[in-house]
Chains A and B, each alone.
Chain A
Amino acid sequence: MFIRTEDLTYTYFPGTPFAVEVLRGVNLSIARGSFTVLLGPSGSGKSTLLQHFNGLLQPSGGRVYVDGEPLGYSRRELLQLRQKVGLVFQEPESQFFAETLFDEVAFAPRNFGLSPAAVDKRVQRALQLVGLDDAAFLAKSPFRLSAGQQRLAAIASVLAMQPQALILDEPTAGLDQAAQDRLFALLQELNREQGITVIVVTHRLEQVVPLAHHFLVMVEGRIIMEGSAAEIFSRPDVLERCGLALPPATRLMQELAAAGLPFSTAIFSLEEARAEINAWRERRAQR
Chain B
Amino acid sequence: MPEILLEARKLSFTYPGEDGESPPALEGIDLKVAAGEYVALIGPNGSGKSTLLKLFNALLLPTAGEVFFDGRSTADARNIPYIRACCGMIFQNPDNQIVGATVEEDVAFALENQALPPPEIRRRVSEALELLGISHLAASPPHLLSGGEKQKVALAGVLAAASRCLLLDEPTAMLDPAGQAAVLETLQMLNRQRGITLVHVTHFPEEAALAHRVLVLHGGRLVKEGPPAEVLADLPLLRALGLKSTAAAELAWLLREDGFPLPRGIVHNRELVEQLCSYARRI
Contact = CB atoms under 8 A, between A and B. Distances in A.
- Indicate, yes or no, whether A interacts with B: yes
Interface of A: 20, 41-43, 90-91, 134, 136, 139-140, 144-149, 152, 170, 173-179, 203, 243-245, 248-249, 251-252, 255-256, 259-261, 270-271, 273-274, 277-278, 281, 284-285
In this complex, which of A43, A179, A261 has the most chain B Cβ atoms within 10 angstroms of its Cβ? A43
Interface in B226-283: 242-244, 246-248, 250-251, 254-255, 258, 260, 269-270, 272-273, 276-277, 280, 283
A186 B251 CA distance: 25
A175 B46 CA distance: 10
B46 A256 contact: no
A136 B19 CA distance: 11
A42 B45 contact: no
Given A144-B15, A146-B46, A175-B203, A270 B276 contact: no
Nearest to A248: B247
Given A146-B50, A174-B92, A260-B277, 9 more contacts: A42-B176, A42-B178, A146-B45, A176-B45, A178-B242, A179-B242, A248-B206, A274-B251, A274-B258
Q: Which of B22, B246, B247: most chain A CB closer than 10 A? A: B247
B280 A261 contact: yes
A255 B269 contact: yes
A177 B203 contact: yes
B147 interface: yes
A19 to B, nearest CB: 12
Interface residues of B, number: 47
A189 B174 CA distance: 26
A159 B245 CA distance: 30
B277 A245 contact: no
B27 to A, nearest CB: 16
Contact of B251 (A20, A134, A144, A252): A252
A203 B277 contact: no
